[in-house]
Chain A
Amino acid sequence: MQNVAADLAQMLGAERVLWEQEHLVTYGFDGTAALYGEAGCIALPKTTEEVSQIVRYAAKHRIPVVTRGSGTGLSGGSVPVPGCIVLCLVQMDRVLELDPKNLTVVTQKVAELAEAAGLLYPPDPGSMRISTIGGNVAENSGGLRGLKYGVTRDYVMGLEVVLADSETVVFGNKCVKDVEGYSMKDIFIGSEGTLGIITKVLLQLVPKPAAKKTLLATFSEMDAAAETVSAIIAAKIIPCTLEFLDKITIRCVEEYAHVGLPLDAEAVLLMETDGHPAVVQEEAQQMAEIARRHGASTVQVAQTSEEATRLSTARRVAFSALARVSPTTILEDATVPRSELANMIRFIQQVAARYEVAVGTFGHMGDGNLHPTFLTDEKNAAEMARVEKAMTEIFEYAVKLGGTITGEHGVGLAKKAFLPKAIGDASLGLMRRLKRTLDPDNLLNPGKIFD
């Protein structure tokens, strides 16, 4: 591999190519539990031209290329294929243009830039403080605001992509309406680095909402929480946040953060509405009433921003609280239509009991995106096998309910085995044909999503 590293060093300079063992180990994983692969070398390009040059070199020598941003993915999408070139794009982090007249920003990185201009870039995945915008687009990342604001795809207006043959193409523009042929950018959004390498992104921004109100409701029955969610939607309120914690998560959160949640509660709902102050005020009152009417044991409405922060703590620390319990934390994202949420949550609890594995579930109740979180130990082979079985059942049930095996984490390596059943042969076949067309030598992130 030193030859490859030496050749790449000729292109980029020695300081932007890493091949020593002590470096390779640290690029062998992303945010996914128990997945590891060792690259041949790591390349750190700074420009689209450099990316194209590297891809041309890799194509010529038939070396796989695995693109990586900050490596926070949760399905193993950027875990190296043995011997590959890892194309790490963290140094391509310039914001090239912010256009407040057209509410767009051309960027290689999500920044707090929009905020400074009084605008909002709504997608807020848990990794938003470090993840790169290229990675977000490649995984079509979600976040807490999906119900009202949608996901990354809904904000991508244009892309620059380096293809497997090293050609650079640009899709989209600043026009809201654009029907020039196929919507090619949409093929690359969520493609997990298997179709091309995203080097520039043109994002749409929205005006920052003037006001926000936060509520926290606790329930002694799961169904009551689910019915509350349905009733809120039926009342034509679209909250920006509608988050949920189950019993195990509540206990872990309380033990860790002492936020005052009742330990006998079956469910906690965190609700937020944003927009015009008058509307926000009215919707908050309505949501509180709906929650009470559907049997909430307590409903707290934050009166100050400090109180809002305190209430949202329960949800914010959910993952931390669970991650502390066991050595290995496997975060899943089975997603179902909203109407099936209570069913799905109950099923997860039954499966966990049946396989004797600890699962805490929290997630985005408003958009049906759940995070069943397995608390286990990768060194315990017997338990890991039971986790695997439980997970399979959960995925199958989600599909049965008309849902998806992954709402926002992507397929990568972690959910590859479950994909054929979930989407069917015809759909998978078409994906394969598309992959072969764009990457005939199978060099871009091979073995991810499907083989």
Chain B
Amino acid sequence: MPTPEELHEAAVRIGRSNPQGRGGASKYLKRLDYSVLQQCIHCGMCLPTCPTYDETKLERNSPRGRIALMRRVADGQLEVTQAFGQELYFCLGCLTCETVCPAGVRYGEMFEHARADIEQAGVMRNPQRDLVRELTLRWLFTRPQALRAVGRLLRLYQASGLESLVRRLKLTALLPSRLRALESLTPRVKRQFSDALIRPVETPADQKHRVGLLTGCVQDLVFSHVNRDTADALLANGCEVVTPRAQSCCGSIHAHNGELELARQMARRTLDAFDLDRLDAIITNAAGCGTHLKNYGHLLHDDPVYAKRAAQWSAKLRDIHEWLAEIGIRAPAASTPQTVTYHDACHLCHGQKITRQPRQVLAAIPGLKLVELPESTWCCGSAGIYNITQPEMSQKLLGRKISNIEKTGTAVVASANPGCSIQLQAGLGQASKAWRIVHPISLLAEAYREGLK
């Protein structure tokens, strides 16, 4: 674990880096409605809640500092420099600042536009980064079949024993340090993906609603059982579940990483997969995707073909906890005694302001005792691909989260975002803990199944 000094050094190093003569004018921030940039009153209320500022105590690493830089870039007073790029990629995008901002600043929107400017200007480019972005953002995450094929290969590697052989022989030591860290974060791929687990349409006997289910991309590969559990929880609450086949990535990873055009493409494709008029709601169980999915209306607001449908989509989009709380959760019949703590995923509590509903879901389970997690809304350091791009800061946040979990004395941690779950799982591995990381909906679905026995 890096010491505060090392972290500070890392942050300062980021500040030190030379723009290398490359820079550019803003294209995206400049086009952003100026009132969004102007809304910040730099009162500083965001400072104590920003995980990066809390670590470094440097204004630049704070929301109001970043907003000041973004505003300068939009005004043309500051070029899009490498230092600017590094700063905006040092930001977790956890959106805690949006929760505490008295002036209602839409930081997330600014942040996505700033990253788009950074990619446009190319100030962060290097061959390795270009290759990774090309392979993941542009290729893998735009091709659902390819993603699943890679998933199957990875599964084969993990399940065949080859992975444990490689690890036993310490062959991973041959990898560059960054990849080595990544290797340990690699989640276990499921034997079956969502399409094999969930039929295209499943109808309960007491149908009251009809909903569409989003199965996600990473969620589909690594947490397909959560998708099944979500379908089960919906069925148990009178919802017919419509699950389109071979769904694409929703584009949130693209929007958060400066690829707004690709994000729009992915949004259109996702919109095409659902017959909105026939559905009461579209359900997602992944917090990070949810924030972005709810933003489709805004993302495509000037799209001549899709604007109207995107707005309709945003209005119908619900996080699973939100939806169940809205229609009323049917309590499972059987009691399943267990003590659980709940980690608030940033993009649920800050991105969507959903904090009450997941707790309602947990409280509905007979026998379940919820122990509140200290600093439950403090980012765990997963933040999309942040744990890969900023391993030092990410590790620091993970350590803080793990020590808070320890304080609860529970062995079950409920978390509603695939990124957080993978991160927490890796953290448990490092701390040699046998805790269980589980989606709240899986606990609910288990309780329903227990009741059927």
Whether A associates with B in a native complex is yes
B35-88 residues with Cβ-Cβ distance < 8 A to A are 35, 38-39, 41-45, 47-48, 57-60, 62, 64-66, 68-69, 72, 78, 81, 83-84, 87
In the complex, the answer to whether A329 meets B72 with C-beta atoms within 8 Å is no
Bound complex: CA A25 to CA B48 (Å) = 20
In the complex, the answer to whether B102 meets A320 with C-beta atoms within 8 Å is yes
Closest residue to A327 on the B side, CB-wise? B38
A294-336 residues with Cβ-Cβ distance < 8 A to B are 319-320, 323-324, 327-329
State which of A27-35, A179-187, A405-413 sits at the interface with chain B.
Answer: A27-35
B341, chain A: closest CB distance, angstroms: 23
From known contacts A15-B12, A28-B68, A130-B48, infer whether A23 and B60 are also in contact, taking CB-CB under 8 Å.
Answer: yes
Closest residue to B81 on the A side, CB-wise? A22
In the complex, the answer to whether A329 meets B103 with C-beta atoms within 8 Å is yes
Q: Which residues of chain A have C-beta atoms less than 8 A from B104's C-beta?
A: 320, 323-324
Residue-wise interface mask of A (29-48) relative to B, using a CB-CB cutoff of 8 A (1 in contact, 0 not): 11101000000000010000
Q: Which residues of chain B have C-beta atoms less than 8 A from A329's C-beta?
A: 41, 103
A70 at the B interface (CB under 8 A): yes
A22's contact among B15, B48, B57, by CB below 8 Å, is which? B15
Bound complex: CA A162 to CA B78 (Å) = 36
The interface size bin for chain B is: 35 or more
From known contacts A25-B69, A320-B103, A327-B38, infer whether A31 and B43 are also in contact, taking CB-CB under 8 Å.
Answer: yes
In the complex, the answer to whether B78 meets A33 with C-beta atoms within 8 Å is no
In the complex, the answer to whether B43 meets A72 with C-beta atoms within 8 Å is yes
Q: Which residues of chain B have C-beta atoms less than 8 A from A378's C-beta?
A: 38
Residue-wise interface mask of A (61-72) relative to B, using a CB-CB cutoff of 8 A (1 in contact, 0 not): 000000000111
From known contacts A15-B9, A127-B43, A379-B38, infer whether A25 and B68 are also in contact, taking CB-CB under 8 Å.
Answer: yes
Closest residue to A28 on the B side, CB-wise? B68
A35, chain B: closest CB distance, angstroms: 10
A91's contact among B39, B57, B68, by CB below 8 Å, is which? B57
In the complex, the answer to whether A20 meets B59 with C-beta atoms within 8 Å is no
In the complex, the answer to whether A90 meets B15 with C-beta atoms within 8 Å is no
B31 at the A interface (CB under 8 A): no
B57, chain A: closest CB distance, angstroms: 5
In the complex, the answer to whether B44 meets A26 with C-beta atoms within 8 Å is no
Closest residue to A127 on the B side, CB-wise? B44
In the complex, the answer to whether B45 meets A26 with C-beta atoms within 8 Å is no
Q: Which residues of chain B have C-beta atoms less than 8 A from A91's C-beta?
A: 57
In the complex, the answer to whether B9 meets A90 with C-beta atoms within 8 Å is no
Bound complex: CA A71 to CA B60 (Å) = 13
B350, chain A: closest CB distance, angstroms: 16
A163 at the B interface (CB under 8 A): no
From known contacts A31-B44, A127-B44, infer whether A327 and B39 are also in contact, taking CB-CB under 8 Å.
Answer: yes
A14 at the B interface (CB under 8 A): yes
From known contacts A15-B9, A320-B103, A324-B103, infer whether A22 and B83 are also in contact, taking CB-CB under 8 Å.
Answer: yes
B104, chain A: closest CB distance, angstroms: 4
A232 at the B interface (CB under 8 A): no
A129 at the B interface (CB under 8 A): yes
In the complex, the answer to whether A130 meets B60 with C-beta atoms within 8 Å is no
In the complex, the answer to whether A26 meets B43 with C-beta atoms within 8 Å is no
In the complex, the answer to whether B58 meets A18 with C-beta atoms within 8 Å is yes
Q: Which residues of chain B have C-beta atoms less than 8 A from A31's C-beta?
A: 41-44
Q: Which residues of chain B have C-beta atoms less than 8 A from A26's C-beta?
A: 58-60, 62, 64-66, 68-69
**Which 10 A/B pairs are nearest by Cβ-Cβ distance?**
A26-B65, A320-B102, A26-B59, A323-B103, A72-B44, A327-B38, A15-B12, A22-B83, A324-B104, A130-B48
Q: A22-B81, A26-B64 are in contact. List 17 more A-B contacts (CB 8 A).
A: A21-B78, A22-B15, A22-B69, A22-B78, A22-B83, A25-B69, A29-B68, A30-B42, A44-B57, A70-B47, A71-B42, A71-B59, A127-B44, A127-B45, A131-B44, A379-B34, A379-B38
